Amino acid sequence: MSSALPLAAERRSATPLVAGGLLLLAALALNSLVDSRQALLLLVGGALGLALYHASFGFTSAWRVFIVERRGAGLRAQMVLLALAVLLFFPALGAGSLFGQPVTGFVSPAGTSVIVGAFLFGIGMQLGGGCASGTLYTVGGGNARMLVTLLFFCIGSLIATQHVDWWFALPALAPLSLVHSLGVVPALALNLAVFALIAVLTVVLEKRRHGALERPAASATAGLQRFLRGPWPLLWGALALVLLNYATLALAGRPWGVTSAFALWSAKAAQGLGLDVSAWAFWQAPANAKALAAPLWQDITTVMNVGIVLGALLAAGLAGRFAPNLNIPRRSLLAAVFGGLLLGYGARLAYGCNIGAYFSGIASGSLHGWLWVAAAFAGNTFGVRLRPLFFPGESVKPTLGGC
């Protein structure tokens, strides 16, 4: 036993070196195979993974805690995230360029498919145990259960690509950018007012339930040590995610997205098994057809997703918490399967996930981002009620839904 403990510590101490080495080698390879911009996007993904892990910046848990306990610190951090994002993004999108690079936002139709897709995604968040970014960074952090969620996330995405032409034909408003329809300043004022209103509402509801706001947990580390090993305050995470999304906009010409890569990975795997997905309407769209025909290392979202996983692996190693556990209860495993399928299917119907539709969608001034939030929150509320079926140790309070 005594010899096993130093060996485990040695493995943990080697994890940051392995993760950092893989990131560096992958960046050098991308610089050679594609260009320096693709290599930089991989490193931005790595920084996103580190920030997500160290700040534990989860959308799923923040919503569940508010729904069940009326604790709103996580939701308020999300409002800070969105406020900083629109302050940076709206002027650039209004101008149409950033540092000389043409830029466009994620602006999609707001309609039936978004409502249904975001609702399903919200249920999947609570059953699968994470969102799109959350799935990636927890996989990188060594959570074996989330590998199952990720696998079925990809499968659900592929299934959706066979159906989305039917869903997209259902009633919907045309894509609407608040930045272009209202102007940069009015759009900023409107969005900032809504973020403030939501934050104030969480404060009122939390105080009504508990009498006072929850205090942040104390950290055993500080300064540079805390930056490297974590845990970070939520506001550090919010600031890092905004700046890194802004860097993505500057480098890629569009905001950060996650789930389009899951559909692409599963489509390429299906092709390898003999299924001709290129005949499906979704994969005949010019951009999708081009991505399907090209190597994966040319896909920006794939490269950034790989970076997120490696960045989270690096963070987990620095924190000394990389310790995969394969002992997954059967009900929890079943929830990961169902949740992953709902996450993948819902994301494609809704033109994105908590990143592409919520964070980057609202940062783009897209009306569909706000519709996504409303439908996804309703889905999370329903998903919370389902969780005790798969996680017997949990219970939903009878007052759930009240103040």
Domain spans in the chain, listed from the N-terminal domain onward: 11-390
* In contact, 333 and 164? CB cutoff 8 Å: no
Q: Mean pLDDT in runs of 10 for the chain (403 residues)?
A: 42 80 97 98 98 92 95 97 98 96 97 98 96 94 95 98 97 97 98 98 97 88 87 95 98 98 98 96 96 98 98 94 88 97 98 97 98 98 96 57 35
What is the structure's pLDDT at 365? 98
- By CB atoms closer than 10 A (0-12, 13-18, 19+), residue 310 is buried
What is the structure's pLDDT at 360? 98
The three-class DSSP label of residue 376 is helix
Cα–Cα dist 355/277, whole Å: 26
What is the structure's pLDDT at 224? 86
What is the structure's pLDDT at 398? 35
User: Among candidates 356, 331, 351, 365, which has minimal Cα distance to 116?
Assistant: 351
Q: Which two tokens stand for residue 159?
A: 């299934």
Tell me if the bond preceding 109 is cis, omega within 30° of 0: no
User: DSSP code of 393?
Assistant: T
What is the structure's pLDDT at 397? 47
Q: What is the pLDDT of residues 347-371, one digit of tens each?
A: 999 999 999 999 999 999 999 999 9
The three-class DSSP label of residue 170 is coil
